[in-house]
Homo-oligomer: A and B are copies of this chain.
Amino acid sequence: MCGIIGVFNHERAAELAALGMFAEQHRGQESCGMAVSDGKVFTLRKKMGLVKQVFPPERLETFKGKIAIGHVRYPTKGSATDYNSQPHTVDSLYGATYALASNGDVVNYFEVKEELEKKGVYFKSQNDGELILKYIIYQIQNEGMGIVDAIKAMMKRVKGAFSTVLATPDKMYMVRDPYAIRPMVWGKTSDGTVVVASESCALDILGVENRLEVPPAGIIQVSERDIKMFDNDPNDYRFFKEDKHCIFELIYFSRPDSFHFNENVYEVRKKIGAELAKKDDIIPDVVVPVPDSSNFMAVGYANEKKCYFSMGLIRNHYVGRTFIKPEQTIRDESVSQKFSTLPNFFTGKKVVLIDDSIVRGTTIKKIVNMIKKAGAAEVHLRIGSPAVKYPCYYGIDTPNQTELIANQKSIEEIRDFAGADSLRYIELDDLLKCVESKDKYCHACFSGNYPIK
């Protein structure tokens, strides 16, 4: 998971892009980067660290230019280098005249990369954004294509999820894969600046009034003159397109104040909580979320059930690396550093504990244990997503299938493993009731039903 931003036609594009990246910081804290065009070439800076560390105000001031694209990157194993960060640029005799940032995952990455490498193309990273960029540039430079045709050619060849912003020194292109898997919204500020982002919360902080989805397989070109949408050939089967948005964005990844796929994220979460409540005949003393992603689910549950909601778990936001080596036995502190229980809160209570999902099961086990040790009489675990049984190939860093607890154990076994008194996942059908168009979502991680092979 990552976040992208693009700002077109603002005197202080770099500052706006940084502000947008900051709003998307929750989508990636490992590294971030920005490329700014001065009208001729791009200046690039990308580095390990948070947006406010990598782009302090005195640094931003040196990035002169009216077009800026940016990226925040999620930590993934074995790739924590400046090179693997985004954006990517391609340099030439004429300077760095292309820059690209992408969110998603390319399914046929190695196949396409090898094809290009055989033609001599050189890769500096193990990153799919670089692949997409170099594929496009190769078509332009070697096949004589125009940039839009080159993007179309890329779309035919590169399979997977990509919400991508590509910039030249005077134009900006928004590009989205045919299933529109990862989120991507854009809009205009009152002074005419075009902004594209992964999440609408980044548009909001920049003052964009009307947000629009980039359509599946969409190519939108922004120039000083106009904004143009390019249609792919409707008769070409390779451009079959269909909304298959990642439903996990609504459940977990996105900020609750974002508006994706025509949904208010927090509203969907409240509905999920309400759906869970409807199936439950339990009368809890209190409904408690695992903060912060499950907060609205718990509110929704409590409102539906007319029972008490409270935040019994406190989250420490100054997280980061773990202090103490594994042999340290005082406390299993990887969880206790992140969460703590309110004192004298749980004693003797029948608790409904809401979490958004269970992946490996190790964290929820520790949380349940922590609540039990804090004196809870019963802990009834309610999960705001169906059981995660299949890995994601479209941009979410899931473990391999055998590490997914729901792939290996029955619900009763998971309940037992977690130490909960009862456990219920939301049913996929009930989950789909919480969104407007149930056909427009990818839920392969629950159903195994992948839109792309």
Cβ of A201 under 8 Å from chain B: yes
B343 touches A259 (CB 8 A): yes
Mask: chain A, 352-364; 1 = CB below 8 Å from B; 0 = not? 0000000000000
Cβ of A40 under 8 Å from chain B: yes
Cβ of A235 under 8 Å from chain B: no
Cβ of A344 under 8 Å from chain B: yes
A257 touches B23 (CB 8 A): no
Q: How far is the CB of A343 from chain B (nearest CB, A)?
A: 5
A205 touches B343 (CB 8 A): no
B316 touches A189 (CB 8 A): no
Q: In the complex where A19-B333, A324-B57, A333-B205 touch, is A318 in contact with B41 (Cβ < 8 A)? A: no
Q: How far is the CB of A183 from chain B (nearest CB, A)?
A: 14
Q: How far is the CB of A3 from chain B (nearest CB, A)?
A: 12
Q: How far, in angstroms, from A199 to B341 measured CA to CA in the complex?
A: 14
Q: Which residues on B sit within 8 Å (CB–CB) of A50?
A: 318, 320
Q: In the complex where A264-B345, A324-B15 touch, is A337 in contact with B205 (Cβ < 8 A)? A: yes
Q: Which residues on B sit within 8 Å (CB–CB) of A137?
A: 93
Q: How far is the CB of A80 from chain B (nearest CB, A)?
A: 15
Cβ of A206 under 8 Å from chain B: yes
8 Å CB contact of A336 from B25, B29, B92, B205: B205
Q: How far, in angstroms, from A299 to B288 measured CA to CA in the complex?
A: 12
Q: In the complex where A314-B255, A340-B205 touch, is A52 in contact with B320 (Cβ < 8 A)? A: yes
B324 touches A19 (CB 8 A): yes
Q: Which residues on B sit within 8 Å (CB–CB) of A18?
A: 323
Q: In the complex where A311-B296, A311-B299 touch, is A257 in contact with B57 (Cβ < 8 A)? A: no
Q: Which of A226-234, A241-249, A302-310 interfaces with chain B?
A: A302-310
Q: How far, in angstroms, from A212 to B323 measured CA to CA in the complex?
A: 27
Identical copies in the complex: 4
Q: Which residues on B sit within 8 Å (CB–CB) of A134?
A: 93
Q: Which residues on B sit within 8 Å (CB–CB) of A311?
A: 256, 295-296, 299
A91 touches B91 (CB 8 A): yes
Q: Which residues on B sit within 8 Å (CB–CB) of A29?
A: 318
Q: Please name 28 pairs of A and B residues whose Cβ atoms are closer than 8 Å in the assembled complex, sorted by A.
A: A12-B328, A15-B323, A23-B316, A23-B337, A23-B340, A25-B316, A50-B318, A50-B320, A52-B320, A52-B321, A53-B320, A57-B321, A57-B324, A60-B323, A90-B91, A90-B93, A91-B91, A92-B93, A93-B134, A191-B330, A205-B336, A205-B340, A256-B311, A257-B342, A259-B343, A267-B344, A299-B310, A309-B309
Closest 6 pairs between A and B when the two form their complex, measured CB to CB? A95-B122, A91-B91, A52-B320, A25-B318, A317-B317, A257-B314
Apart from the given pairs A201-B314, A255-B340, 15 other A-B contacts in the complex at a CB distance below 8 Å: A15-B323, A19-B323, A19-B333, A22-B316, A23-B316, A23-B337, A25-B316, A93-B137, A205-B333, A206-B330, A207-B330, A257-B341, A264-B343, A299-B309, A317-B317
